[in-house]
């Protein structure tokens, strides 16, 4: 079985991928979705299914008990937030944001443009994420759809690499009816396609429990793809297979999804520029 290819992790190399990228992909030029999600479906935000299946260890989610003092804080949003008061979030100390762009190949966040540009306007480093539906189309197809609809990357110092949000199936079988090896191949196809078009490996957003159950821990993506892990608890806990450290931790969804970056602000900038520094 094939394994992910590329440079040895975002924190240890200064080159990204050996592809020719004469022109960087536009980061917020969107097409019109001709198809829509199935009747009765919803716009699923990052962690919506993780919270549903795994819940939270907290007796109260009103105030996160995790200590994040001094860390680089960020948020992620989707259509559920609508018009976002980015200035207020900046004043609260948030310095980065991820915005949902797409789901499968039939849904585009109607608020994406205003949310994405709004984060940029206040000075946040921002990026886009894609909610994967692996049973609807292959990984390459969904990567192209994501990139064509806001999920690209440019070396402007304010754009984070795109995210593959892969979690519990909101429409049926937990693992989308796929065996572990097939799921790994799907993720690999998405990741390689994204890297070939943008010059960056996508961040992978997931939970440890889903990853173990649905990939069978058969694929090692730790040397190529930064990890954004979701766990709503006091500590990040065990990480998905082979990752030795996380890049972003989504630690609560109250009052909206809140995240902490595992490093200093200059490391966050390095992640956005594609010229990361060696971890100290």
Task: List, for residues 125-143, the tens digit of each pLDDT value.
Answer: 999 999 999 999 999 999 9
From the list 54, 103, 167, 192, the catalytic residue is 167
List the chain domain ranges.
48-56+71-273
Q: Are 110 and 74 in contact (CB under 8 A)?
A: no
For residues 67 and 273, the model is more confident at 273
In the residue annotation, 92 being an active-site residue is answered as: no
From the list 76, 185, 192, 257, the catalytic residue is 76
In the residue annotation, 113 being an active-site residue is answered as: no
Neighbours of 178 (CB within 10 A): 17
In the residue annotation, 156 being an active-site residue is answered as: no
At the second CATH level, the architecture of 48-56+71-273 is: Alpha-Beta Barrel (3.20)
Whether the pLDDT of residue 230 is over 60: the answer is yes
Task: List, for residues 5-45, the tens digit of each pLDDT value.
Answer: 333 334 333 333 333 333 344 444 454 444 455 544 457 76
Tell me which residue of 119, 86, 87 sits closest to 101, measured CA to CA: 119
Q: Which residues pair with 98 in a beta bridge?
A: 76, 127
What's the rounded mean pLDDT across residues 161-186? 95
The predicted pLDDT at position 278 comes to 34
From the list 54, 103, 165, 192, the catalytic residue is 165
Strand duo 125-131 + 258-261: pairing: unpaired
The predicted pLDDT at position 204 comes to 98
Task: List, for residues 66-86, the tens digit of each pLDDT value.
Answer: 555 678 999 999 988 889 999
Retrieve residue 232's tokens.
């709503």
Average pLDDT, the chain: 82
């Amino acid at each position: 079985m094939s394994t992910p290819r590329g440079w040895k992790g975002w924190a240890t190399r200064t080159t990204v991928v050996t592809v020719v990228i004469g022109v960087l992909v536009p980061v917020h030029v969107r097409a019109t979705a001709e198809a829509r999600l199935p009747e009765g479906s919803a716009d699923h935000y990052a962690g919506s299914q993780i919270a549903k299946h795994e819940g939270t260890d907290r007796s109260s989610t009103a105030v996160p008990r995790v200590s994040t003092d001094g860390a680089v804080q960020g948020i992620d949003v989707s259509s559920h937030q609508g018009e976002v008061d980015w200035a207020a979030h900046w004043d609260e100390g948030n310095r980065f944001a991820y915005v949902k762009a797409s789901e499968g190949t039939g849904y585009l966040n109607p608020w994406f443009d205003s949310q994405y540009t709004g984060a940029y306007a206040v000075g946040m480093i921002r990026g886009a994420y894609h909610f994967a539906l692996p049973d609807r189309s292959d990984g390459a197809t969904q990567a192209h759809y994501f990139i064509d609809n806001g999920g690209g990357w440019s070396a402007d110092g304010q754009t984070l690499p795109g995210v593959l949000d892969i979690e519990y199936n909101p429409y049926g079988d937990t693992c989308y009816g796929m065996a572990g090896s097939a799921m790994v191949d799907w993720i690999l196809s998405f990741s390689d396609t994204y890297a070939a078009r943008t010059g960056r490996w996508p961040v992978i957003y997931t939970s440890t429990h889903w990853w173990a159950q649905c990939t069978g821990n058969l694929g090692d993506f730790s040397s190529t793809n930064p990890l954004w892990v979701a766990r709503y608890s006091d500590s990040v806990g065990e990480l998905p297979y082979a990752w030795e450290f996380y890049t972003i931790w989504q630690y609560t969804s109250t009052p909206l999804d809140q995240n902490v970056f595992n490093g200093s602000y200059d490391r966050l900038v390095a992640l956005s520029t594609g010229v990361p520094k060696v971890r100290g």
